[in-house]
Amino acid sequence: MARHPHDTPTKPPQTPSKTPLFPGCVGVRWDAGDAARRWLGSCSGQVARSFTYNAAMNISDLISRRATDIDASGIRRVFDLGAQLKSPINLSIGQPDFDVPEPIKQAAIDAIRAGRNGYTVTQGIADLRARLTKTVADEFGWDFEGPNPEHSLFITSGVSGGLLLAMLALIDPGDEVIIADPCFVLYQHVIRMAEGRPVFCDTYPDFRLTAERIEAMITERTKIVLINSPSNPTGVVNTQAELDQIVELCQSKGIMLISDEIYDVFTYAEHRVNGTAPSAAAKGRNILLMKGFSKTYAMTGWRMGYVAGPAAIINEMTKLQQYTYVCAPSMAQAACVTALDVDMSDFVTAYQRKRDMVVQRLSEVTELVVPGGAFYAFPKVPDALGCPAGRFVEDAVSKNVLIIPGSVFSQRDTHFRLSYATDDAVLSKGLDILCKLMTP
């Protein structure tokens, strides 16, 4: 009987071999000569079904080293502990305790109802970008005008999204990025995701990242210096003179300076210059300035930030955003135009009062650098207790108080982070417990 041309051949031409045609498969083995290749072509794709896998797939082997080299955030672990407690006193959360102001909520609702739910252009909607570029130009004298402007600006999915895009745009494998120790936990990981190397600059005991300290860490591989003022986790605010010196150092060495100013509005009165937060952008023009809406307006879940800087770099970051985040949330962008007109000064005043409460109470029992901004304090675990900060945090959790061990932010385990972005009564109760724990 003649074989139908689509029937599977009964047997291929073969030459014995120890090498399988398809690695990981068993079955007929042969050297792929001309006859075998002709036989394979006649199979019409059915040959794959005649083979079986040697072993079951090992999913863990598929996970990249990039992922496995990153530990889960210690902050998240504390959150998980808190979920097991009944009515914990939560002094761990890095977000405001107030809600998004009503005019901003309404603007987002109006945008949704008006059908502004699709993609926006990658760089962000025109009216929001126009407002922000005018603000940056007026405050710092940056140039966004003309056919070939010196600077540009785009809207990001939070400052964290901007940081990742900056690292991807600037870092080649092995490039070094100088960051403070302690610093925001995300920094070292976005650097490593881009195959860079984080270099920790020790700022103990005053937590001030200065040009002198940075210069001692610079090598021929240094590509970026990343600063954060006001700081997470310490609340320290650099003076304008300190920032100017860092700008001058980076300029002289050909190093890109990234200034993360997500907490700029939460800069307290004694540290403001002409009513605004000190900024590296006041002195530097060849820097990346990163700001956002998440902390200022309590919209941490809306993922809204922006980056301004040299146009050539912003263009590359925008291109990378096109293939990652695509764009920031459309309705949130529309609402942020309204947010720029909302006065948050009463909230800042309230948080300054909370800061004063924390300083007054904790300074009686331990060493504490007075926070000048943000909504964190970074007290030291008293030496007299004879235990690392991680153990102290466990003791606090056992008393129903959630705080973050300093080792999450630092190479050291001597301090802990406390967030005072909470109700005054809750804060007071938590401070009572912490003060008792810190008293030998």
pLDDT digits 0-9 by tens, 217-270: 999 999 999 999 999 999 999 999 999 999 999 999 999 999 999 999 999 999
- The confidence score (pLDDT) of residue 101 equals 97
Give the pLDDT band of residue 55 (cuts 50, 70, 90).
Answer: low
Q: Token pair for residue 289? A: 């300035």
Q: What domains are there in the chain, each with its CATH number?
A: 1-56 (no CATH), 71-98+344-437 (3.90.1150.10), 117-339 (3.40.640.10)
* HEC secondary structure over 68-109: HCCCCCHHHHHHHHHHCCCCCEECCCCCCCCCCCHHHHHHHH
Nearest alpha carbon to residue 399 among 375, 358, 435, 368:
435
**Average pLDDT for residues 58-87, to the nearest whole number?**
81
Q: Is pLDDT above 60 for 32?
A: no
Give the pLDDT band of residue 83 (cuts 50, 70, 90).
Answer: confident
Residue 238 to residue 112: CA distance in whole angstroms: 40
Q: Token pair for residue 391? A: 């153990």
Residue 416 to residue 304: CA distance in whole angstroms: 28
pLDDT digits 0-9 by tens, 156-177: 999 999 999 999 999 999 999 9
Query: DSSP 3-state assignment of 17?
Result: coil
- The confidence score (pLDDT) of residue 353 equals 97
- The confidence score (pLDDT) of residue 6 equals 45
Q: Which residue has the tokens 């009686």?
A: 364
Residue 132 to residue 340: CA distance in whole angstroms: 9
**Average pLDDT for residues 366-377, to the nearest whole number?**
98
- The confidence score (pLDDT) of residue 93 equals 86
On whether the CB atoms of residues 415 and 379 are closer than 8 A, the answer is: yes
**Average pLDDT for residues 318-335, to the nearest whole number?**
97
- The confidence score (pLDDT) of residue 52 equals 52
Kind of pairing between the strands at 222-228 and 305-310? unpaired
pTM of the model: 0.85
pLDDT digits 0-9 by tens, 328-360: 999 999 999 999 999 999 999 999 999 999 999
